[in-house]
Amino acid sequence: MKHFLKTLSILLLAFSLLLTSCGKSETKTTTDNTAKKLKVALLLPGTINDNGWNAKAYNGIKLVETELGAEVAYTEKVSQSDQEEVFRNYVLQGFDVLIGHGFQFGDAAKRVAKDYPNAKFLITSTDINQAPNLASTNTNPMQMGFLEGVVAGLVTKANNVGAVGGQEIPPIISGVQGFEAGVKYINPDATVTISMTGDFEDAIKAKEAAKALITQGADIVMLDADQAGLGVIEACKDKGVYAVSSVSSQHELAPDTILGSGISDVPKAIEAAVKHIMDGDFNAQFYDMGVKEGAVYFVPNPKFESMYKEKLAQVIEDINSGKINVAELVKNN
């Protein structure tokens, strides 16, 4: 009897250990199948329906949502005074990645990032970084403006072109500088006149700026003013003058006057940066993306493409090979 009880005890112990082992294995599998989604929040200086800068960033986090499977959120029209609070609120809600869309979010991000080292901060349109958790990315506006300038320099008959920019902030200044350098690279005799409105929303002011350039003889006007740029498109359409748009493709808005659009592929840059984080190879550094990386390019209006297609293709090839250094051309312009 004692032998029987001893044997039974051993069998029960073995059975108990087997159940415990199976339980542990099942728990591990369940945990792997319910991995926590990455949570990504976007702070915008404007609205997602501006058909330009802010809309691009919104499209970027939608890509992050659909292609990378992240949970996303965004806040529009974040003022300078509210930036830090909005960043902190998202971190406290459990968001892993905080994106400030525009260089103006940099200072607030630096302050908040120090307090939350486990969160990752990404600022667009700047080259700042701060170890261990703040990086930046930029779709090179100077190169975008250069491509636009090449097109304008090739098409102008009056050898007189203009550009209307919005606020005098680094990305806009860089873009119009690139535009002027592109025009001069192709057409050294052309006159380039720049007008800055100081505003991204006032389409009437932008329209008046464009009309003034046209009155001065410009037969092509480049626009880089977000929502206000719609006023430039309208002025060019009214006067029968060509326009070149920036950031997003807009020739469908005025198919008879917009030559094409310089593209800043912000969605691609945002998706690439977030993928670095998901893959575990995030670094607190500046990720610069331009023509060579496919983040900056030109979308032609098919109606006018033959006027510049061949030469523009050669310029793009020369940028990719390093034969053309846009930054050096701007510096020496």
List the chain domain ranges: 39-139+267-289, 141-263+302-332
Superfamily the domain 141-263+302-332 falls into: Response regulator (3.40.50.2300)
Chain-centre distance for alpha carbon 83: 19
**Looking at domain 39-139+267-289, which CATH architecture does it have?**
3-Layer(aba) Sandwich (3.40)
Residue ranges of the chain with per-residue pLDDT less than 50: 1-34
Cβ pair 269, 60 in contact under 8 A: yes
How many angstroms separate the CA atoms of 127 and 145, rounded? 18
Are the C-beta atoms of residues 258 and 250 closer than 8 Å to each other? yes
Tell me phi and psi for residue 273, to 5 degrees: -65, -45
Which segments of the chain are extended strands (E)? 39-43, 71-75, 97-100, 120-124, 134-139, 160-165, 191-196, 220-224, 242-247, 258-264, 286-289, 296-300
Alpha-carbon separation of residue 186 from 67, 258, 314 (angstroms)? 40, 20, 12
Residue-level pLDDT at 7 = 43
Q: Whole-model pTM? A: 0.76
39-139+267-289 matches 141-263+302-332 in fold: yes
CB 55 within 8 A of CB 227: no
Identify the DSSP state of 75: E
